């Protein structure tokens, strides 16, 4: 491992033998902060890191050459915190831009609802409640969560809510991995847990690397309900509470409300 290199000391690109070093680890960390998955942060510039780098360059309007040179590094430095910033204080650009662009309420925003099948009653109720709040709503029904993420990215959604059921499991999760987490996602997950408690019981949100959370470019949470019957019977109530939690979350983001560490 080339421990002496700092990001910017040399150009980084996929090669044989694979480039290794602290600068590669920093590249992976910065990509992860922005929501571009490099896999494990291991200081090795392999195919996953190259793919994430190219995705970042494409989204940033840079030449998509897979080479981390001066222009790419300067863009990183404008958009991401310096090395050593704690994960709990990291806010991805995809989330902070919502605030900077005037994310007030849901009017004019696109919310994507994802579910693998069988939750039509809940998604229909959510479409109504989010629509009444002014949002445009896209519902995706498919068993492949990566496909959900790709479609959400394609339509440049502002928010993704994944819905699922599994017997005996009520959970709410947001994206988190070693050295990085979705700060806005964590705030929304806690807000949703608080609003849903009267229906689902007490749920402590968790940071996970689920595909729908790590592969989306925007804030995303995953809500799993333990009983299909409860979902069907309480769909309007669940929809109302989820919508209310999102509206409350927007206000909390703008006032920089903090939540306890997961």
Sign of the torsion angle spanned by Cα atoms 260, 112, 106, 225: negative
Residues 13-41: tens digit of each pLDDT: 999 999 998 899 889 888 887 878 887 67
pLDDT tens for each residue of 71-112: 999 888 777 554 444 433 333 444 555 544 555 678 889 999
Q: What pLDDT does residue 79 have?
A: 75
Q: What tokens were used for 252?
A: 């909390």
CATH code of the region 93-254: 3.40.630.40
Q: What is the DSSP letter of 19?
A: P
Euclidean distance between CA atoms 102 and 109, whole angstroms: 11
Q: Which of 59-73, 96-110, 118-132 has the lowest mean pLDDT?
A: 96-110
Domain limits, CATH 3.40.630.40, in the chain: 93-254
CATH 1.10.3260.10 fits 22-85, yes or no: no
Of the pLDDT bands very low, low, confident and very high (cuts 50, 70, 90), residue 46 is very high
The alpha carbon of 203 is separated from its chain's Cα centroid by a whole number of angstroms, namely 20
Radius of gyration for the chain, computed over Cα atoms and rounded to the nearest angstrom:
19
Three-point CA angle 182, 188, 193, nearest 5°: 125
**What are the residue ranges of CATH 1.10.101.10 in the chain?**
22-85
Can you read off the two tokens belonging to residue 131? 């629509």
The more confidently predicted of residues 66 and 259 is 66
Position 170 pLDDT exceeds 80: yes
Q: Which helix (H) or strand (E) holds 218?
A: none
Cβ contacts of 233 within 8 Å, gap of 6 or more: none
173-188, pLDDT tens digit by residue? Answer: 998 866 667 888 999 9
Percent of the chain scored above 70 by pLDDT? 84
What DSSP line would sit under 96-113, residue for residue?
Answer: HHHHHTT--SSTT-EEEE
Residue 90: the pLDDT is: 34
Q: How high is the pLDDT of residue 102? A: 56
């Amino acid at each position: 491992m080339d421990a002496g290199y700092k990001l910017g000391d040399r150009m980084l690109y996929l090669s044989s033998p694979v480039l290794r070093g602290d600068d590669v680890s920093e590249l992976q960390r910065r990509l992860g902060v922005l929501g571009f998955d490099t896999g494990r942060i291991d200081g090795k510039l392999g195919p996953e890191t190259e793919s994430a780098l190219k995705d970042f360059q494409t989204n940033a309007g840079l030449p998509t050459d897979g080479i981390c040179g001066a222009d790419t590094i300067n863009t990183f430095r404008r958009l991401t915190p310096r090395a050593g910033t704690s994960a709990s204080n990291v806010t991805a650009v995809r989330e902070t831009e919502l605030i900077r662009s005037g994310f007030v309420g849901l009017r004019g925003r696109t919310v994507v609802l994802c579910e693998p099948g069988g939750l039509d009653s809940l998604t229909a109720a959510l479409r109504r409640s989010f629509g009444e709040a002014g949002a445009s709503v896209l519902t995706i029904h498919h068993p492949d969560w990566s496909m959900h993420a790709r479609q959400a990215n394609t339509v440049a959604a502002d928010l993704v809510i994944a819905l699922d059921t599994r017997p005996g499991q009520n959970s709410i999760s947001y994206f988190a991995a070693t050295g990085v987490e979705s700060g806005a996602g964590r705030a929304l997950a806690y807000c949703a847990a608080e609003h849903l408690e009267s229906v689902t019981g007490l749920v402590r949100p968790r940071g996970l690397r689920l595909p729908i959370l790590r592969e989306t470019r925007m804030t995303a949470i995953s809500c799993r309900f333990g009983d299909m019957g409860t979902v069907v019977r309480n769909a309007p109530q669940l929809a109302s509470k989820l919508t209310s939690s999102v509206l409350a979350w927007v206000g909390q983001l703008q006032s920089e409300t903090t939540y306890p560490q997961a």
